[in-house]
Structures are given as structure tokens and as C-alpha cells.
Amino acid sequence: MELGRDTPVPTVVLAGVRDDGRQSEVWLNGQMMAEPVRMELPMTYKPEGYRFRDLVRLVPERFGVAQMASFSGGYTASPLAYVISGPVDDPRYDIDYLRDEVNSAALPESLRALIGPEAETAPEVRLTGSGFELISSEGMPELIDLPLDMPGISWPMGAARDAETGTLYGVTLGGEGFLYA
């Protein structure tokens, strides 16, 4: 990693485990850091998806900051340095970045009638490697396992709940890609 001019030394956090059991090294401006912080965090390599949203939520809690200021990631570490040049003005780092988009009061009356009042209190739904998770307004997850005859989940990408029928839908990217219902 290379720091831009006048950028304070950041807290470098490593999450995840290497397959070969060796510890990852962090080099900062050409010098190896003695010991970066290691902790369990959602594994994400792009600033999108539910794992990134979890990361945006956890960073302020774990580090006592107002919000995450920037993000650099990759599925595998780049042989080139990551450049950290300071905070980025990106609305995706706001914990509640979609609040203006999902405010039902801002929707036309015809759409509000379709959504119904239960949309405001419906649990959040996620697709994980084990099945669907329903997250209550109190943040408590309820796991709904997939039936044994359904294909295994690889790279869950998104989930939705049909409020009218209660059907849960999930999409995966891995393998052939599947739509689960």
C-alpha cells in the first residue's frame, strides 16, 4: 500500500484466512507493518452487495468512527499497491444510503397502494451459503434452510420477498447461476 501525501497512517485491518496457512503481510510505503489488526469482518471485494452493506454498518461500531470513508478491495491482492488518498465522497459509505429511495411517502399514491402498509415492517431477507435469512427489525436473524433437493448455494448475490405470497427469491452467481424460490 502507498499512502498519498499528507495522508495519516490508517488502521489496516486484515480479514479472512489464507488457504496455505501463512499470514498475509502488509507493506506500507515500502516498509512491512509489524502487525496489522486482524478481525472477523464480512468478506467483500467490491463496494456493493449485502456483505459490503454489513461492512459499512460494522466499521463505525468497531472503530468508533462516524462512517467508513473509503474502500479498496479485490478478490485476490493486486501485485500493484493500493493507493489510499483519503476520504471519498461516495454515498454508498453512508449506513442508510437508500433512505431517500425507499421512503414510501415520496412514492406516487398508485405505487403506495400496491406496496401496502406491511412493506414498512417486513423483515429484511438475505440469501447466504446456508439458505435464506430473515432479519427482524430488532436485527435477529432467522435461518430458513434450503430443501435437500435444491442445488448448493455458490456466490449468493441477492434476495427478495414477495409480500403478497410470502415467497422468498434468491439469485446466485457461482456455477451456472440459479434462481431460488
- Residue 102: inside a domain, yes or no? no
User: Would you say the C-alpha torsion 36, 37, 39, 43 has a positive or negative sign?
Assistant: negative
User: Above 60 in pLDDT, residue 118?
Assistant: no
Identify the domain containing residue 121 by its residue range. Answer: 117-180
Longest CA span, the chain: 60
Secondary structure class of 117 (helix, strand, coil): helix
The pLDDT value recorded for residue 62 is 85
Domain match, 4 and 82 both: yes
> Per-residue pLDDT averaged across 80-87, rounded?
67
- Residue 105: inside a domain, yes or no? no
Domain count of the chain? Answer: 2
The pLDDT value recorded for residue 31 is 79
Most confident listed range (49-53, 118-122, 150-154): 49-53
Mark out the alpha helices in the chain (DSSP H runs): 49-63, 99-102, 109-115
**Of the candidates 133, 107, 132, which has an alpha carbon nearest to the alpha carbon of residue 120?**
107
User: Above 80 in pLDDT, residue 29?
Assistant: no
> Per-residue pLDDT averaged across 64-84, rounded?
75
* pTM, full prediction: 0.49
